[in-house]
Structure 1
Amino acid sequence: AAAVARLRAAGLPFTIISARPRSGLMPIAEALAIDAPMGAFNGGTVFTRDGRVTCHHVVDRVVVEAAFAAARGLAVDTWVFADDLWYA
């Protein structure tokens, strides 16, 4: 928080981007009072602290199904980010 405050004092903008969903980023956004757009799901969802989604990118269902089919039977974890939730 102190480093972000120093950036602001120097006139430099600050934001965050993470693999986390918006719900996982909001406590950080609140604590740091981030007013710039932020990226959840590795940038797949761009949003503001007031909860407004400004950009949302999705992967076509057929591509997801093909990826899951390719992973079937392999020793890998499969995760899906959908509707602001992370299914692991």
Structure 2
Amino acid sequence: MLDLLLASGSGTSTSLSEQLPVSRQAVAKHLAVLERVGLTRVTPSGRERLYHVDEAQLARAVAQLSAVGEAWDARLARIKRIAETIQRNKK
């Protein structure tokens, strides 16, 4: 959904549901969550709501997820080194 919004610049639940294999109601619920967490901004457009990605907020979320991923990679590398040391010591 974010990819579609980024590609087109904006979208409504109706326009997005036409491009996705889910109902308009499901899209609207997902968009409400994205708005609640600050990843989208909404402006009224007639009877519908026009959603835009908040690119600054998305960049912050990506940076946070990247940091979490890096931390887990470091932890897993440490576990691997410990397991390899145990395996070597068994021989």
* Larger radius of gyration between Structure 1 and Structure 2: 2
Structure that is richer in strand per residue? 1
Q: Choose between structure 1 and 2 for higher RCO, CA contacts under 8 A separated by at least 6 residues.
A: 2
TM-score interval w.r.t. the shorter chain?
under 0.3
Return the TM-score normalized by structure 2.
0.27
